[in-house]
């Protein structure tokens, strides 16, 4: 099943899907580049729908202005299935006080947002988004990926990984699929195209 902001649907109901996008996004690292206009998001979804699109997966994670209640309203208004993410991006994108508040309970937060809902909105997340670094997995990435794996094992939710400029795919797979036991077909590698190394891409696909 696919968990959308309006409830679960069968995979065959998903239709033409934009599998990685952002309708709303706010980051300390990207001042002045916020996506927080509901009217603009609706216009984009209506244009997408008119072109034959029927689903959008928003990869905006915890603490970055994902606006789950607005996603539900927009899905009802436009008829486009929307999937919302839980998870956590790289440390520089996240407020330090939020990071501190998540210490020791990150997997619990992910599981709650996947099964019970995000805050008081009643909107449940449909995937877990985490991130690697540029050719590396730092302590933050390993912490978030370990929590994501724990949440995956508890819920079955897929894990979507931001690859910084497309790098680090094999390290991510070694950690998630090797050390942490996540099945390879439950891991989505984002931005792999930004580092077009066919050898790496074939090895990642083989996993």
Give, as one character, the DSSP assignment of residue 206.
Answer: H
pLDDT cut 90: percent of the chain above it: 94
pTM of the full predicted structure?
A: 0.95
Q: Which residues pair with 85 in a beta bridge?
A: 127
What's the pLDDT at 207?
85
Label residue 187 left, alpha or beta by phi (over 0 means left) and psi (-120 to 50 means alpha).
Answer: beta
Domain at 2-206: CATH architecture = Alpha-Beta Barrel (3.20)
Least confident interval from 74-83, 148-157, 194-203: 194-203
Which residue in the block uniquely carries the two structure tokens 């997340």? 125
DSSP string, 44-80: HHHHHHHTT--EEEE---TTS---HHHHHHHHHHH--
Mean pLDDT over each residue of the chain, to the nearest integer: 96
Q: Which tens digits make up the pLDDT trace of 24-66?
A: 999 988 999 999 999 999 999 999 999 999 999 999 999 999 9
Spans of all domains in the chain: 2-206
Mean pLDDT of 104-133: 97
Determine how β-strand 81-83 pairs with β-strand 55-58: parallel
Mean pLDDT of 111-123: 96
Q: How many residues does the chain have?
A: 207
Mean pLDDT of 129-150: 97
Q: Which tens digits make up the pLDDT trace of 59-98?
A: 999 999 999 999 999 999 999 999 999 999 999 998 899 8
What is the torsional sign of CA 74, 190, 158, 108?
A: negative
Does pLDDT of 199 surpass 90? Answer: yes
Label residue 99 left, alpha or beta by phi (over 0 means left) and psi (-120 to 50 means alpha).
Answer: alpha
What's the pLDDT at 178?
96
Secondary structure in 3-state letters for 127-188: EEEEECECCECCHHHHHHHHHHHHHHHHHCCCEEEECHHHCCHHHHHHHHHHHCCCCHHHEE
The DSSP H or E segment spanning 115 is helix 106-115
Closest CA to 64 of 118, 25, 21: 25
What's the pLDDT at 62?
93
Does pLDDT of 167 surpass 90? Answer: yes
Whole-number Cα distances in Å, 132 to 35, 138, 164: 23, 8, 6
d(CA 167, CA 135): 5
The Cβ of residue 91 has, within 10 Å, a number of other Cβ atoms equal to 16
């Amino acid at each position: 099943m696919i968990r959308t902001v309006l409830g679960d649907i069968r995979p065959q109901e998903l239709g033409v899907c934009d599998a990685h996008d952002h309708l709303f996004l706010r980051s300390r690292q990207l001042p002045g580049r916020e996506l927080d206009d509901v009217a603009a998001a609706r216009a984009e979804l209506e244009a997408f729908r008119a072109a034959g699109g029927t689903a959008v997966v928003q990869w905006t994670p915890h603490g970055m202005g994902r606006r789950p209640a607005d996603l539900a309203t927009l899905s009802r208004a436009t008829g486009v299935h929307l999937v919302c993410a839980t998870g956590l991006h790289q440390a520089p994108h996240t407020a330090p006080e939020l990071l501190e508040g998540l210490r020791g309970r990150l997997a619990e937060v992910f599981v709650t947002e996947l099964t019970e809902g995000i805050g008081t909105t009643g909107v449940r997340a449909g995937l877990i988004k985490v991130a690697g670094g540029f050719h590396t997995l730092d302590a933050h990435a390993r912490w978030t990926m370990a929590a994501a794996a724990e949440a995956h094992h508890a819920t079955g939710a897929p894990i979507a990984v931001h690859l910084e400029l497309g790098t680090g795919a094999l390290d991510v797979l070694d950690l998630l699929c090797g050390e942490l036991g996540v099945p390879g077909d439950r891991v989505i590698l984002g931005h792999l195209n930004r580092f077009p190394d066919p050898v790496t891409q074939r090895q990642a696909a083989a996993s």
